[in-house]
């Protein structure tokens, strides 16, 4: 069932309104018609089943037939500190949003891509936020991951939430990601290096931040996919993947 994120102002009593890009997508791409049902997620707090009553590319309206607390968000908070790959960051952002990442921190590393022009940085960040939002809706999540501005690795590590457990994914690590033990309520950050791995200077930055080295298994993953695997392994270890998709209630 298609899902759309809306601000609280677009939910009024027993009705809901979808506007902007989502209305255009619903009307033109999905070609939905009055009488069909979608899920509207109200600011990451409540989700509503909405039977469509009016459909246009500018605005879609309908009546709420059921409501419940949001579903689809993992209990474990996973931040992905992702070295920007030379190609495929759009696909990386999409995959991380689908997997259940809480936040994505694009970073510049010693061996990674060159620092982009300021105008490109702003446009790229906005594009990534759109991609993350659309992927989170597709995955049935309650909210998109937070997309932070691009930072140097050391600055991103300092900006992580207090008490965050930092894991650095490196091929030669002695311990597996699946062997990590979590404290209840403690956020986890997983650091993904560029193609070719993290430079020794970057690994020094990670050691100074008290990061724990972990590996992702016996196969080498490309940088654009390693974060997706890491998030999936962490959430599986935390028991998140034991829970199936919640079916919609009967009106």
How many other CB atoms sit within 10 Å of the CB of residue 93?
27
Query: Could you read off the pLDDT of 66-113 as tens digits, one per residue?
Result: 999 999 999 999 999 999 988 899 999 999 999 999 999 999 998 877
The residues, any chain, with a CB within 8 Å of residue 221's CB and separated by 6 or more, are: 229
The pLDDT confidence band at residue 185, using thresholds 50, 70 and 90, is confident
What local confidence, expressed as pLDDT, does residue 44 receive? Answer: 85
How many other CB atoms sit within 10 Å of the CB of residue 34?
12
113 versus 208: the higher-pLDDT residue is 208
pTM score, two decimals? 0.93
Mean pLDDT value across the chain: 94
Under CATH, which number does the domain 3-69 receive? 2.40.240.20
Task: Give, for 105, the enclosing helix (H) or strand (E).
Answer: strand 103-108
The residue behind tokens 């989170």 is 136
Altogether, the residues listed in the chain come to a count of: 251
The pLDDT confidence band at residue 116, using thresholds 50, 70 and 90, is low
Strands 15-19 and 59-69: antiparallel
What local confidence, expressed as pLDDT, does residue 117 receive? Answer: 66
What are the boundaries of each domain within the chain? 3-69, 78-241
**DSSP per position, 7-61:** -GGGEETTEEEEEHHHHHIIIIIS---TT-EEEEEETTTEEEEEEEEEE-SSEEE
Distance between CA atoms of 58 and 78, rounded to whole angstroms? 36
Tokens of 194: 């560029």
One of 3.10.580.10, 3.40.1280.10, 2.60.120.260, 2.40.10.340 is the CATH number of 78-241, namely 3.40.1280.10
Angle at 183 between CA 246 and CA 147, to 5 degrees: 60
């Amino acid at each position: 069932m298609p899902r759309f994120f809306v601000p609280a102002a677009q939910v009024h009593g027993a009705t809901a309104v979808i506007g902007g890009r989502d209305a255009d997508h619903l009307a033109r791409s999905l070609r939905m018609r009055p009488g069909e049902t979608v899920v509207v997620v109200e600011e990451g707090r409540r989700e509503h089943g909405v039977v469509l009553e009016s459909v246009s590319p500018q605005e879609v309206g309908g009546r709420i037939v059921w409501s419940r607390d949001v579903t689809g968000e993992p209990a474990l908070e996973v931040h992905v500190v992702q070295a920007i790959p030379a190609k495929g960051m759009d696909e990386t952002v999409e995959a991380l949003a689908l997997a259940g990442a809480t936040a994505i921190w694009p970073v510049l590393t010693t061996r990674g891509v060159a620092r982009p022009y300021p105008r490109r940085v702003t446009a790229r960040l906005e594009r990534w936020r759109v991609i993350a939002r659309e992927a989170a809706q597709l995955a049935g999540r309650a909210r998109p991951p937070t997309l932070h501005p691009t930072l140097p690795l050391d600055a991103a590590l300092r900006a992580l939430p207090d008490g965050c457990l930092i894991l650095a994914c490196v091929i030669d690590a002695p311990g597996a990601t699946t062997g990590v033990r979590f404290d209840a309520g403690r956020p986890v950050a997983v650091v993904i290096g560029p193609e070719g791995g993290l430079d020794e200077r970057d690994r020094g930055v990670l050691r100074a931040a008290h990061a724990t080295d972990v590996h992702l298994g016996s196969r080498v993953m490309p940088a654009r996919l390693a974060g997706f695997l890491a998030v999936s392994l962490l959430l599986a270890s935390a028991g998140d993947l034991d829970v199936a998709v919640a079916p919609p209630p009967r009106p």
